């Protein structure tokens, strides 16, 4: 019996993904554990392994297909030789809910019999919707590519458009029709073309997610910013000693590793800042999971050091090295970047003196760390030189009062300036 290979849910919340790359082709034999494809979710690219053994007889979703629904059939595997002749993928039903943009036309396998392959561009642009649904969508400003079809084989029908437009649409009410769909993504106004030469690059899923979430954060969260100057001399000295001691173990602590620890500890000291604003309730977290901003080639991503408050700095350092590596390769697993109770962003290595970061919802605070630099510094009434950095906390003012935010910054400053507290 041929086995239908379906788009996997690579995280509990994943609904669709991009089939970034096929690593197998029709006719290839695969066995359990072989990597068949790379699948890009909104945050990362993941490898998709074969579970069963057999021969790939059909690939139904071409690589590069975006918005492939979880559960959609992406390939067919024959388990015994009888079935191994390439078969045309089922024309109908790539997914129970194939919809809108996806529903990519099945790619004809390089089969003995020539099978007409739909031109790729067409396949990707095809929206399966009834004539009435298309017309209603245009009138109500509903983006068909964001509508899930409930008709046969996921065809978008009138009822789907009405649902997307928010409730039943009055039948050609004499009054002007309902306002544009509230669910439609906030599309920016068209960018005017001033004739400047440019190259258009299609947004990847990571970039789309960043755009959506940061817009959401800045539009919905009232940010307040609190900045402190922190003297680093003691911390740098301690780091030097620790690294000397840890060298045999192959551990080299970065300043950032110590910042992660300091932030986590500070959150434990001021738990009022370790929260999420959740509409009608405030979530107070019982541990400090620090999301650390990492610049990956595909865009910003924030791997998490879980329970950083109780982990040793060397442990944090090792974990961070591994996570940052994965992040740069786009191989982070969803559980490694989804979650976190507060974030840390460090642009000190670029010489940035101070900056205000945007909160990463549903978290309620993010700490922006600037460069440690030698500055004139007054110690005991006398001017001297010290290594100082500026750190700015951005707080969700709905959840955190200014005084509580200030208390957190104070605790952070103290932990960094008297760093032995980080080790205890």
Partner 1 sequence: MSEQYDVIILGSGPGGYVAAIRCAQLGLKTAIVERENLGGICLNWGCIPTKALLRSAEVLHNMKHAAAYGLAADNIRADLEAVVKRSRGVAKQLNQGVTHLMKKNKIAVHMGTGVLKGAGKLEVTGDKGTETLTAKHIIVATGARARDLPFAPADGKRVWTYRHAMVPQELPSKLLVIGSGAIGIEFASFYNDMGSEVTVVEMMDRIVPVEDADVSAFLEKALVKQGMTIMTGAGVEKLDVTASGVKAAIKGKDGKVVTSDFSHVIVAVGIVPNTESIGLEALGVKAERGIIAIDDYGRTNVKGLWAIGDVTPGPWLAHKASHEGVIAAESIAKELGNKDVHPHAMDRRNIPGCTYCHPQVASVGLTEAKAKEAGHVVKAGTFPFIGNGKAIALGEPEGFIKTVFDAKTGELLGAHMVGAEVTELIQGYVVGKTLETTEAELMATVFPHPTLSEMMHESVLAAYGRALHI
Dihedrals phi, psi of 200, to nearest 5 degrees: -85, 125
Nearest distance in Å: CB 159, partner 1: 10
Candidate list 130, 145, 215, 333; residue touching partner 1; CB under 8 A: 130
* Contacting residue, 174, 188, 195, 351, with partner 1 by CB under 8 A: 174
Distance in angstroms (rounded) separating the CA atoms of residues 407 and 273: 9
Element (H, E) at 385: strand 382-396
- For partner 1, which stretch binds (CB under 8 A), given 151-159, 258-266, 377-385, 395-403? 151-159
Place of tokens 């769909």: 181
Q: Which of 12, 33, 114, 171 is close enough to bind partner 1 by CB under 8 A?
A: 171
Q: What angle do CA 301, 305, 307 make, to 5 degrees?
A: 145
Our finding on whether 148 is near partner 1 (CB under 8 A) is no
Q: What residues from 235 to 274 belong to the interface with partner 1 (CB under 8 A)?
A: none
* Pairwise CA distance, residues 277 & 397, whole Å: 9
Cα distance between residue 285 and residue 268, in whole Å: 10
179 binds partner 1 (CB under 8 A): no
Catalytic (active site) residue 223: no
Pick from 362, 182, 214, 166: nearest CA to 279: 362
Among 33, 112, 114, 172, binds partner 1 (CB under 8 A): 172
Q: For residue 210, which of 201, 222, 218, 200 has the smallest C-alpha distance?
A: 218
Cis peptide before 362 (omega within 30 of 0): yes
Contact assessment for residue 168 and residue 136, using Cβ atoms and an 8 Å cutoff: no
CB of 130 to partner 1, least distance (A): 3
CA-to-CA distance for 108 and 145, rounded, in angstroms?
24
Stretch binding partner 1 (CB under 8 A), from 128-136, 216-224, 232-240, 274-282: 128-136
Closest separation between CB of residue 140 and partner 1, Å?
10
Cβ at position 16, least distance to partner 1 in Å: 20
Q: Which of 111, 115, 157, 282 binds partner 1 (CB under 8 A)?
A: 157
Give the count of residues interacting with partner 1 (CB under 8 A). 18
CB of 245 to partner 1, least distance (A): 60
The Cα 101–Cα 129 span in angstroms is 10
**H/E stretch holding 246:** helix 233-246
Q: Which of 35, 85, 170, 203 binds partner 1 (CB under 8 A)?
A: 170
Residue 167 in contact with partner 1, rule: CB under 8 A? no
CB of 172 to partner 1, least distance (A): 3
- Considering beta carbons, is residue 102 or 362 the nearer one to partner 1? 102
Nearest to 314 by CA among 409, 220, 265, 242: 242
What's the chain's length in residues?
424
Q: Which of these is catalytic: 223, 315, 335, 397?
A: 397
Can you tell me which of 136, 164, 313, 320 binds partner 1, judged by CB under 8 A? 136
Give the nearer residue to partner 1 in terms of CB position, either 135 or 353: 135
C-alpha of 221 from chain center? 19
Give the interface with partner 1 as residue ranges (CB under 8 A).
93, 96, 130-133, 135-136, 139, 152, 157-158, 170-174, 177
Catalytic residues: 397
């Amino acid at each position: 019996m041929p086995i239908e290979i379906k788009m996997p849910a690579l995280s509990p919340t994943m609904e669709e993904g991009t089939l970034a790359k096929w690593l197998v082709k029709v006719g290839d034999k695969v066995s359990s554990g072989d990597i068949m494809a790379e699948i890009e979710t909104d945050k990362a690219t993941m490898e998709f392994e074969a579970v069963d053994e057999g021969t790939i007889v059909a690939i139904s979703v071409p690589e590069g297909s975006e918005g492939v629904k979880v559960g959609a059939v992406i390939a067919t595997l024959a388990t015994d030789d009888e079935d191994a002749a390439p078969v045309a993928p089922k024309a109908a039903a790539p997914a129970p809910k194939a919809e809108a943009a996806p529903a990519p036309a099945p790619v004809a396998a390089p089969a003995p019999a020539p099978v007409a392959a739909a031109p790729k561009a067409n396949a990707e642009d095809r929206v399966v919707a009834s004539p009435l649904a298309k017309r209603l969508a245009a009138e109500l400003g509903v983006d068909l590519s964001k509508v899930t079809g409930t008709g046969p084989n996921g065809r978008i029908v009138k009822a789907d458009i009405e649902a997307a437009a928010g409730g039943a649409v009055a039948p050609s009410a004499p009054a002007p029709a309902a306002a544009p769909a509230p669910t439609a993504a906030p599309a920016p106004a068209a960018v005017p073309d001033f004739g400047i030469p440019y190259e258009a690059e299609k947004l990847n899923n990571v970039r789309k997610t960043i755009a959506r979430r940061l817009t959401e954060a800045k539009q919905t969260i009232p940010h307040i910013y609190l900045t402190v100057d922190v003297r680093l001399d003691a911390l740098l000295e301690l780091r030097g000693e620790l690294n000397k001691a840890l060298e045999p173990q192959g551990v080299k602590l970065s300043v950032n590793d110590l910042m992660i620890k300091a932030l986590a500890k500070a959150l434990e000291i001021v738990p009022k800042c370790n929260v999420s604003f959740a509409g009608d309730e405030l979530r107070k977290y019982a541990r400090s999971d620090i999301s650390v901003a990492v610049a990956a080639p595909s865009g910003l991503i924030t791997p998490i050091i879980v329970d950083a408050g109780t982990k040793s700095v060397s442990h944090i350092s090792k974990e961070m090295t591994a996570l940052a590596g994965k992040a740069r390769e786009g191989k982070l697993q969803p559980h490694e970047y989804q979650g976190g109770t507060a974030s840390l962003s460090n642009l000190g290595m670029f010489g940035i003196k101070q900056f205000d970061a945007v909160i990463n919802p549903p978290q309620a605070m993010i700490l922006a760390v600037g460069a440690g630099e030698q500055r004139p510094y007054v110690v005991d009434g006398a001017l001297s030189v010290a290594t100082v950095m500026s750190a700015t906390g951005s707080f969700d003012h709905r959840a955190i009062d200014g005084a509580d935010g200030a208390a957190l910054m104070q605790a952070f400053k103290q932990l960094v300036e008297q760093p032995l507290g980080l080790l205890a």
